């Protein structure tokens, strides 16, 4: 099996995002450090810039000014594709590929990273079991055959599949019942 990738420090240094035509920035001069291996929660009102701040990390949204650094390197200096392959991203809307099975969805990033098929299958099965979707029952299903909560758990498994050093989670458990949410 592949070596585990280690967690990394994330630094927001005066990070600002001003959307055109908006009177105030979505994110304004945000500065803080998330030490490697730490969990950080952004809390605030709806529309307060939490999702935008996360999207600055993986460059789904580009900075207007300031910087975001991952392990000392500005995200602006990193290739977008490589950057995103090193970040697990879980969103409430999930975004599973409808033409792929659950196993193919979960194995997408490891495949893109060049993992061998014999490495991917056990990792997929391990993660499906972790999110309480038994692999033997779920690996061949499609997104349309899953409940909202099951789709969300597949999205979480997909984000964890390549053991990313950074995980961004935007309301990842919104479609889950309270008991499952607590267990995960």
Q: Give dist(CA 135, CA 114) in Å, integer.
A: 22
26 neighbors 3 (Cβ within 8 angstroms): no
3-state DSSP call for residue 142? strand
pLDDT digits (tens, 9 = 90+) for 84-131: 988 888 776 668 899 999 999 999 989 988 999 999 999 999 999 999
Mean pLDDT in the chain?
89
Identify the structural domains of the chain with CATH numbers, from first to last.
10-78 (3.40.50.300), 102-169 (no CATH)
pLDDT digits (tens, 9 = 90+) for 128-171: 999 999 999 999 999 999 998 899 889 889 988 888 888 888 87
Q: Give dist(CA 7, CA 87) in Å, integer.
A: 11
In the prediction, which pLDDT does 184 show?
A: 62
102 neighbors 139 (Cβ within 8 angstroms): yes
- Indicate if the pLDDT at residue 3 is higher than 60: no
Higher-pLDDT residue of 56, 178: 56
150 neighbors 132 (Cβ within 8 angstroms): no
**What is residue 113's DSSP assignment?**
T
What percent of the chain lies above the pLDDT cut of 70?
89
In the prediction, which pLDDT does 177 show?
A: 67
152 neighbors 173 (Cβ within 8 angstroms): yes
């Amino acid at each position: 099996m592949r070596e585990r990738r280690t967690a990394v420090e994330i630094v927001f240094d005066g990070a600002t995002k001003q959307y055109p035509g908006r009177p105030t920035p979505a994110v304004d001069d945000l500065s803080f450090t998330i030490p490697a291996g730490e969990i950080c929660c952004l809390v605030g009102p709806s529309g307060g810039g939490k999702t935008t701040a996360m999207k600055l990390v993986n460059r789904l949204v580009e900075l207007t000014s300031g910087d975001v650094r991952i392990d000392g390197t500005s995200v602006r200096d990193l290739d977008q594709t490589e950057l995103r392959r090193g970040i697990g991203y879980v969103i409430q809307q999930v975004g599973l590929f409808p033409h792929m099975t659950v196993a193919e969805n979960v194995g997408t990033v490891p495949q893109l990273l060049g993992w061998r098929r014999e490495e991917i299958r056990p990792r997929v099965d391990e993660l499906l079991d972790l999110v309480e979707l038994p692999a033997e029952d779920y690996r061949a299903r499609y997104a349309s055959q899953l409940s909202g909560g099951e789709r969300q758990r597949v999205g979480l498994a997909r984000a964890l599949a390549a053991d990313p050093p950074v995980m961004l989670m935007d309301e990842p458990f919104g479609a889950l019942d309270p008991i499952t949410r607590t267990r995960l």
